[in-house]
Structure formats: structure tokens, C-alpha cells
Amino acid sequence: MKSKTTIITSVIVVLILLLIRVPWHDLLDRFFANKPVYDMNTQPIEAFSVDDVYLAPKVEMPDVDESDPKALYEAGLKLIDDMRAFKQVETLLLKAANMNYPPAYSALADLYILHHEKPAERGGAVESRVDYVIKYLKLAAKYDDNAISRLFKFYESVAERTSDPARKAQLRELAYTTALNGAQRGHIDSMIGTAMFLDAGYGVEKNRAAADAWYEKAVEAGSTYAAYQLGMRALGGDGNMATIIPKARYWLTIAANRGDRASIEMLNSLLTDDEIRQKTAVSENPFTVGQ
């Protein structure tokens, strides 16, 4: 009897819902409205509101000498991956940064990338997490060349996620100029980044010749990756095989002699039958690095 009553009640509820045409997806949306799920791989960074607060048990502030920026920085690093300790880490790293301790700048950028918390208010103004990441990577770039590549890659990652064409163009121009500044300082990763932006036409007019020139400078500075890229670009370029193959071999050989396995395999695939016979007489590997 009880089960029969339950069935009848359920039928009545369904009929009422159908009569008043309640959209089920609205009910689900309302149910999940206050339960945000963050996914840095699929959700644009700028979509995170500065009001997002991660509610979790408090973490005690570590006992540290607040006059020692290195100690403050190291204490912050120990807690940076703990989602509960955002405010404590931010406080520690900001104190170190305010003492002009350069490693704290990059750590603060990491903090705002890793966490979805509201950045501290300063001077009555609240900036977005993206603005804070950029701010501290810029400061870090004055002391650390690796922060330069992090900065232009971050600009590009945000540009890739934004749907606003004007904003995308602005960010890519910033990415290119940042990479170019680093390249002009002799930073290899920035040289490669500059070449990639020129090749794609991101933030600058597309220019394949200028891209090749920066790849060549990167090779001269010691980049194996740039040599491999030049070899592959030669193979995909215009012209006849009589000029393409020697050019590709030249760059791939440089990369191969630096131990790049992909270049060795590509060189093997470019060997003629006569060359294969000559090489196999010397080595089981048709292409031997250094020969």
C-alpha cells in the first residue's frame, strides 16, 4: 500500500512539473550555481572571478624570521601547493618581494597561477589574477631571463583563451615584444619564441625570412631544437629538391651532432641508396653522429 502511494505521488509531481513547464536544465543549473568547478586546462584564466574564495580549514602561519627575505620566501614555497594556505603564502612572499628579493616575484606569479583566490587589495584597487601574474613576471624578468620566456608564454596562453579579437591582438603584441626584448638580450628561448611569433604572424607581421634569421641566431647560441626546426622548415620550403635536401641536411646534421635523435632519424630517411650502402659498410646505423 505504501509503495502504491509513493508511485501515485511521484506521478502527480511529474504531471505538475509538465503542466507548469519547469525546465530541468534550469533546475540543474541552479543546483550547481554555487558549486564552481575549476579546470585550468579548459576554462579561460580570465573567467575566474576575483571574488572566488576557496573555503578550507585554516593553516597556521609558520614561525619565520620576518626580517630575512630568503627565509620568508622558502617558508612560502613549502606551502605554495597547499590550497588551504593561499593567504599565508601570499603574505610571506609579499613580505619577501617588498624587500626586493627577486625569487619571490616568480613565486608570487606561480601562486596566482596555481590558486583561484582573490589577490590582496592594495591602495583600494583590486586587480585580476592575470594582472598579478603579469606584474610579478615582469618584475622577475628584470633579474631572471627564464622569467622572460614565462612572461611571453603566459601572454600567449591568455591570448589563446580569450574570445575578444582586440584583446587577443593586444596580448599577442605584448608576447612578441617581450620575446624580442629577451632575444636581443641573448636569451635562447626568447630567440625561438621570436621566430615562432614571426612565422605565425602573432603580434607582428608574418615574416618567414626574419623567423629563419632568429632560428639561426639560436643555433649559434647553442640551440639544438632551433637547428632541427631549420632542417624541417627547409624540407617544407619552396624550391627544387636539389637545393632543399642539402639545406635540410646541413641543419639536421648540426642537430644530430648535438645528439638529437629525431634529426638522426630524419637524416637516415634522406639518404640515397648509394649513401646507405657506404654508411652500412662502416656502421650498423646508416647515419653515425660525428662522421
Place of cell 564552481: 36
Domain regions of the chain by residue span: 1-31, 43-143, 164-222, 224-291
Average pLDDT of every residue of the chain? 77
Cα gap 278→291, rounded to integer Å = 12
Predicted confidence (pLDDT) per residue in 230-253, tens digit: 999 998 877 677 788 889 999 999
99, 122 in Cβ contact below 8 A? no
pLDDT at 184: 95
Q: Which helix (H) or strand (E) holds 242?
A: helix 241-257
* SS3 state at 30: helix
pLDDT in the model for residue 256:
95
Asked if 216 contacts 227 with a C-beta cutoff of 8 angstroms, the reply is no
pLDDT, one tens digit per residue, over 50-100 is: 344 444 456 778 888 889 999 999 999 998 888 788 888 899 999 999 999
What single-letter DSSP state applies at residue 283?
-
Using an 8 Å Cβ cutoff, are 84 and 58 in contact?
yes
Compute CA distances 231 → 13, 253, 288, whole Å.
70, 9, 18
Rg over CA atoms, the chain: 28
Please check whether residue 134 is in contact with residue 173, taking contact to mean a CB–CB distance below 8 angstroms: no
pLDDT of residue 1: 53
> How many angstroms separate the CA atoms of 260 and 270, rounded?
16
Q: Sort 8 into a burial class: Cβ within 10 Å, 0-12 / 13-18 / 19+.
A: exposed
- Residue ranges in the chain modelled with pLDDT below 70: 1-58, 116-127, 239, 271-291
